[in-house]
Amino acid sequence: MGAGCLDGMLASPLPALNDAEGAAVPPGLPPVVDAHVHAFPERVFEALWTWFEENGWPIRYKLRAEAVVDFLLGRGIEHLVLLHYAHKPGMARQLNRFVAGFCEGRARVTGLATVMPGEPEAGAILEEAFALGLGGVKLHCHVQCFAPDDAALDEVYRTCARFDRPLVMHAGREPKSPAYKCDPHAICAASRVERVLRRFPDLRLCVPHFGADEYADYRRLLDRHDNLWLDTTMLVAGYFPGDVPWELVTARPDRVMYGTDFPNLPYAWDRELRILVERGLPPDDLARILGGTARDFFRIPSPGG
């Protein structure tokens, strides 16, 4: 894969893997935080799954938000970060209230907010969401059709920095699907993300999926910018074509966090967890990737502390 992969990782829908799943988190692991879990109201989930099955991959776990949380916590995941995003203006407030209400009373769940960049009152929408207890923001360049360095984002970046809330932004150009309304390869680039990191040094930014597929560029950005993090979501599964960017994992475990994209998966819920464990990383590095880095980034209190 790489620059030659013009059609993207999702040029056509991918198959389900009928891999075996574990009954629980493997024994003896440090506390595991899943930093990338999705929760939507049921109607939105249904629409999303239809889109995925037509354009992405079959969904193995069609679970509602409550069942998503019960499933993962019940199998030994210590803490979850719930992400969602708005597909059009005027949706964010309702989605944010849904997630905030859902997280109330659930100490082991951190919910993030969303907003449509450039929509009226974008900053106020986020302020309201933070006041409701949401612990950060999620944006998705492909779905929401914006470039990371678009001026419409400035208000979002400023608000996150001012309230010290982290931002998770799907700013890598993959997995690209021809079904998106915009071309992710035209709007997403590591160089655009670097512009943001430079302009907003107080913004803490996580780019999911290792910034696929510009791995070498993101490796350099990690060393140049202390305000950048990456997550592993779906990219250690060996599901997409191309090699797993292990050099990012081993070089900066302090800036890489484990995430899954559960429940929107075509394979076993713990596939990537087992692959990371079997990799034989130094125990301290594994503990950071599986939980420590996400705890720092989202300011999640230690279990029992």
Is residue 226 within 8 Å of residue 184, measured between CB atoms? Answer: no
Q: How far is the CB of 38 from Zn ion (least distance, A)?
A: 6
Contact 50, 264 (CB under 8 A): no
Of 142 and 252, which CB lies nearer to Zn ion in the complex structure? 142
| Interactions with Zn ion, residue window 246-275 (CB under 5 A) | 261
Residues binding Zn ion: what is the number (CB under 5 A)? 1
Residue 220 C-beta: closest distance to Zn ion, Å: 24
Choose between 14 and 281: whose C-beta lies nearer to Zn ion: 14
**Shortest distance, CB of residue 185 to Zn ion, whole angstroms?**
19
Name 262's Cβ contacts closer than 8 Å, sequence gap at least 6.
34, 37, 38, 61, 68, 71, 72, 269
Q: Which is nearer to Zn ion, 52 or 215 (CB)?
A: 52
User: What is the number of alpha carbons within 13 Å of residue 285 lying toward its C-beta?
Assistant: 14
Q: Which is nearer to Zn ion, 213 or 261 (CB)?
A: 261
Residue 174 binds to Zn ion (criterion: CB under 5 A): no
- What is the number of H-type helices and E-type strands within the chain? 13, 8
Nearest distance from residue 172's CB to Zn ion, in Å? Answer: 11
C-beta of 148 vs 155, nearer to Zn ion: 148
H helices of 163-214, in order, are 184-187, 190-199
What minimum distance in Å lies between the beta carbon of 209 and Zn ion?
Answer: 8
Residue nearest to Zn ion (CB): 261
In a 3-state reduction of DSSP, which class is residue 164?
coil
Q: Residues interacting with Zn ion, by CB under 5 A?
A: 261
